[in-house]
């Protein structure tokens, strides 16, 4: 099922994106998409249970890395704290 979901997501991405890179081993997709298509494509991928891991806005485009959430990685703890910036 996960590979089928990934292939469905990839076909959606090819409709909107200038570039699509797929990592089948980690079930992730890196997309390079025009800003006007970013909202529609990510909303579709979220419905397919993808999680946005990285996003960078460029002049007229957005680069985004999306990861398919599976039973294997549901227990992953995501930490947004930036401990490296602390000064003693």
Which domain does 10 fall in, by range?
2-70
| 77: in domain | no
- For 31-75, write each residue's pLDDT tens digit: 999 999 999 999 999 999 999 999 999 899 999 999 998 766 555
| 79: in domain | no
Domain count, the chain: 1
- For residue 40, the model assigns a pLDDT of 92
Can you tell me the distance from the alpha carbon of 34 to that of 62, in angstroms, rounded to the nearest whole number? 6
Kindly report the three-state secondary structure assignment for every residue of the chain.
Answer: CHHHHHHHHHHHHHHHEEEEEEECCCCEEEEEEEHHHHHHHHHHHHHCCEEEEEEEECCCEEEEEEEECCHHHCCCCCCCCCHHHCCC
- For 15-29, write each residue's pLDDT tens digit: 888 789 999 888 899
| 64: in domain | yes
The number of beta carbons lying within 10 Å of the beta carbon of residue 8 is 13
| 76: in domain | no
- For residue 73, the model assigns a pLDDT of 56
């Amino acid at each position: 099922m996960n590979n089928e979901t990934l292939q469905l997501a990839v076909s959606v991405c090819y409709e909107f994106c200038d570039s699509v890179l797929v990592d089948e081993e980690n079930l992730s997709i890196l997309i390079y998409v025009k800003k006007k298509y970013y909202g529609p494509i990510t909303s579709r991928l979220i419905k397919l249970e993808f999680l946005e891991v990285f996003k960078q806005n460029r002049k007229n485009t957005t680069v985004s890395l999306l990861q398919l959430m599976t039973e294997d990685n549901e227990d992953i703890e995501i930490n947004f704290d930036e401990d490296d910036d602390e000064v003693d």
